[in-house]
Structure 1
């Protein structure tokens, strides 16, 4: 579609012509003494561009011009709006920004009001807004008056076959980040209520707490030899790694808005891995389970309810769900999602080029 320049942490994504790697120690929020004071005083406009990572990126970009600017999450909305100038702005919001880390008191008191301010100030003027689920899209419309297109966290289609199911073993697996608010201990507690057929393998990367929560999970599971922790796997390799298992599990109690409305990338990783999927009664995931016959939904989020949804699984039920995942893999892939979104993005680029021609540029 065009030449892409990226600004962000880590290595350059595939396919870009230039990547400005933000130093890993820089924060994306105004986490300085002056910044925190201004957040507390609700002087939000004065800290829009002062986060260390944003200030660094702004200096690197300088006066460069672009045909389209993509803001990846609310915290960079003000900066993206600045560098976009007259070019279209695509606000890719992912989840519900005001409650991104609502399990932290400092977030609720200082950052959530700032996120709400950024959304209210900049989203209505964005040319294109996307988010990961329909319920979250509804929230952005109701709260900020914007129409957000659905763009789910789906990965590319992977040509795999469902792995054979063992007659005396049910191999559960979970992948993702060890973030306290996700209550991953629920999986370990549920294992204590399941018989010896069940094993649980966890591919977890440490969260922002330096790995403290991951250590707690390992201590909680230390007495159960059926629970195994593995190093995290690169996203591109996840489907092939997970393919050896039977059931991808993700039970997240609805303790805040993003948990209640979650539709995470791991759900689609499980589909590409050709796994049965086990979730709780989550508003976005449950309908997809039912539509594509992908697995089981617990009646609630206690360990007893989660374990009960798995306890009676038969070999044929697991095989049927894995086969259903195989049938749904193309429909629930990035290729299908991008086929819907790409024409909308192309229309923004076409508008820019038309305006440039009219201006004689």
Structure 2
């Protein structure tokens, strides 16, 4: 009988490219049951669907009171989505539980403790949990202390821990102990080639989530300031606000025919969709630790799309852009710096950077990260044979 693996993610799982890639590797080792928002994803043999209207943090009146009073142990399993997830998973047995992000750790460990022999837990922390949205005052006052409690309590009990890059992994290790592994947000290798430049226009592109705090306004303003000869196409996943913020962004760009909004495309289709453009752009002021140390999936999507890349400065992305000669790093986080960085590239520069993305696409694909995941799974499911 194959090992039974539970994968917990309080995200819309079919729009979460990192978790989808994870499930693909998990399925090599056993039968995967997913516990998440959204429909059953490919690769899962069973799916426990959480109602998308239920928050994954304790946002009820009693939950907020508990956060305010620092009754963190009391509220660990009290978030509406967590309560429903617990009800869905109780009574089922698993050989391994994967918790995606810190908010899933208390549930994962609670379920793991129900078996006669404690089930191992792999905590894929993604980014730096205590400051996920620390630029928002209520999060900083109420949720940051809770996330810190979760990490302090459960990371030492977690059998394997991974994070999106070495900088964030070292933060987890130094603050909470352990020895984390790096699993980047790298996309699978795509068999593509750089698209030819089009006469008279440089085509910019950006993909990601339409949520506040991502500096989308700054990128739209940069496209306006760049003027004729530049276009910007945005592929944005609408937030759980019914698309209100997405509509506000459209209004910001209203009347400018050089800025176009598109529906989001599936993660598996994104690189091929972006391949028709020339430059992938992203500029994010460092309002949180995650912003400062970013290595987002869009970076790897742009590489697989064979684009030139222009990013604001960050240790992880800057090292890769310079090391592989993929594009330009803006001088700072301002709109003007983004404009200047884009304008500093000639058409020949952009073509060269696109060719360099092509040359680097294999090295910057998910192959290396999948091998790390396989190593983790081997050690947890078959510890006697793991190297």
CA distances 1:153-211 after superposition (whole Å, capped 9, x unpaired): 11211111110012311000001111211111111221233241110011112224433
CA distances 1:12-47 after superposition (whole Å, capped 9, x unpaired): 121111111111111111111111111111111111
- The yes-or-no answer on 1:285 pairing with 2:313 is no
Please give the secondary structure, in 2, of the residue aligned with 1:117.
helix
Query: In 2, Cα distance between the equivalents of 1:116 and 1:295?
Result: 37
Q: 2:223 aligns with which of 191, 198, 212?
A: 191
For 2:243, the equivalent position in structure 1 comes to 211
Query: In 1, Cα distance between the equivalents of 2:108 and 2:65?
Result: 24
For 1:104, the equivalent position in structure 2 comes to 136
For 1:17, the equivalent position in structure 2 comes to 45
Please give the secondary structure, in 1, of the residue aligned with 2:235.
strand
Q: Is the 8 A contact 2:181 2:372 kept in 1?
A: no
Q: Which moved more, 1:208-217 or 1:4-13?
A: 208-217
Q: Is the 8 A contact 1:87 1:352 kept in 2?
A: no
- The yes-or-no answer on 1:320 pairing with 2:369 is no
Query: In 1, Cα distance between the equivalents of 2:237 and 2:287?
Result: 22
Q: CA deviation at 1:103?
A: 2.5
For 2:67, the equivalent position in structure 1 comes to 39
Q: Structure 1: which 5+ residue stretches go unaligned? A: 355-361
- What's the RMSD between the two structures over aligned residues? 1.6
Q: Is the 8 A contact 2:210 2:237 kept in 1?
A: yes
Q: CA deviation at 1:341?
A: 2.8
Q: Structure 2: which 5+ residue stretches go unaligned? A: 1-28
For 2:163, the equivalent position in structure 1 comes to 131
Q: Is the 8 A contact 2:286 2:292 kept in 1?
A: yes
Query: In 2, Cα distance between the equivalents of 1:268 and 1:11?
Result: 26
Q: Is the 8 A contact 1:67 1:352 kept in 2?
A: no
Q: Is the 8 A contact 2:103 2:147 kept in 1?
A: yes
Please give the secondary structure, in 1, of the residue aligned with 2:226.
coil
- The yes-or-no answer on 1:65 pairing with 2:93 is yes
Please give the secondary structure, in 1, of the residue aligned with 2:48.
strand
For 1:252, the equivalent position in structure 2 comes to 284
Please give the secondary structure, in 1, of the residue aligned with 2:108.
helix
Please give the secondary structure, in 2, of the residue aligned with 1:229.
strand
TM-score (norm 2): 0.88
Q: Is the 8 A contact 1:174 1:202 kept in 2?
A: yes
Moved over 4 A (4+): none
Please give the secondary structure, in 2, of the residue aligned with 1:138.
helix
Query: In 2, Cα distance between the equivalents of 1:350 and 1:89?
Result: 14
Query: In 1, Cα distance between the equivalents of 2:363 and 2:40?
Result: 28
Q: CA deviation at 1:223?
A: 3.5
